[in-house]
A = this chain, B = another copy of it.
Amino acid sequence: MLKKGLLGQLTQTLCCLPGVGPKTAQRMSFHLLQRDRKGAKILANTLIEALDKIGHCQICRTLTEQDVCQICADKAKDSAVVCIVESPADAWIIDQATIFNGHYFVLHGRLSPLDGIGPDELGLDVLEQRMATGGIKELILATNSTVEGEATAYFIGELARKHQVQASRIAHGVPMGGELEFIDSGTLAHAFNGRKNL
């Protein structure tokens, strides 16, 4: 790979993008410098502006350029029903896919004691305070279906129980259109155990 000079440096820094390795980064460098200098200029400036202005919503911790994000500022949304997600992207995708009309709470991660990520790093102290003061009536736990995501959901579920807040976990099972033949055994076992009466 190119290592020398500014071009090599640009290639290396482009590797900070997710899913971009040295080869792709090199292609991007050449493309930007040869074919799209205007776009590259706009990209650099937008990136600087975004880094400067985009912070976390004071209520739900999602990414926003205002103090309070659009969803939290929306009076039509029910602030007593809160959906817990791991990342802003998750909140956004749920907002697109469902008719959920409550607020979100973004953890920015999952409980992972080995990495030093405890409840406070995820803002769970703030969430617990809101539950204690009666600001939340229902929690929907939409953390990922990974070991850490499940552990985080369980932990928050316990917090909710402590403060007599109703908590539910999103369903896990066979995805829509999924054929049983091609589904992994873990998902199938989950779907089987979580069967519902018709």
Neighbouring B residues of A126 by C-beta, 8 Å: none
Q: A28-B17, A63-B33, A108-B34 are in contact. Are A53 and B6 (CB under 8 A)?
A: yes
> Is the pair A10, B87 in contact by a Cβ cutoff of 8 Å?
no
> Is the pair B65, A42 in contact by a Cβ cutoff of 8 Å?
no
> Is the pair A39, B54 in contact by a Cβ cutoff of 8 Å?
no
Check if A180 is an interface residue, CB within 8 A of chain B: no
Check if A114 is an interface residue, CB within 8 A of chain B: no
> Is the pair A88, B6 in contact by a Cβ cutoff of 8 Å?
no
> Is the pair B30, A14 in contact by a Cβ cutoff of 8 Å?
no
Neighbouring B residues of A33 by C-beta, 8 Å: 50-51, 54, 63
Cα distance A33–B55 in the bound complex, in angstroms? 8
> Is the pair B44, A17 in contact by a Cβ cutoff of 8 Å?
no
Cα distance A24–B65 in the bound complex, in angstroms? 21
> Is the pair A10, B50 in contact by a Cβ cutoff of 8 Å?
yes
Q: How many copies does the complex hold?
A: 2
> Is the pair B42, A63 in contact by a Cβ cutoff of 8 Å?
no
Number of A interface residues, CB 8 Å?
49
Main secondary structure of the interface of A (DSSP, over half): helix
Neighbouring B residues of A10 by C-beta, 8 Å: 46-47, 50
Task: Tell me the chain A residues, 25-63 only, with Cβ under 8 Å from chain B.
Answer: 26-34, 36-37, 39-51, 53-54, 63
23 A-B contacts (beta carbon < 8 Å): A6-B49, A7-B50, A7-B64, A9-B46, A9-B50, A13-B39, A16-B32, A16-B43, A17-B31, A17-B32, A17-B43, A19-B27, A19-B28, A26-B89, A30-B63, A32-B50, A33-B51, A40-B47, A44-B44, A44-B45, A44-B48, A45-B48, A47-B47
What residues make up the interface of A, taking CB atoms closer than 8 Å to B?
A: 2, 4-7, 9-10, 13-14, 16-19, 24, 26-34, 36-37, 39-51, 53-54, 63-65, 70, 87-89, 92, 108
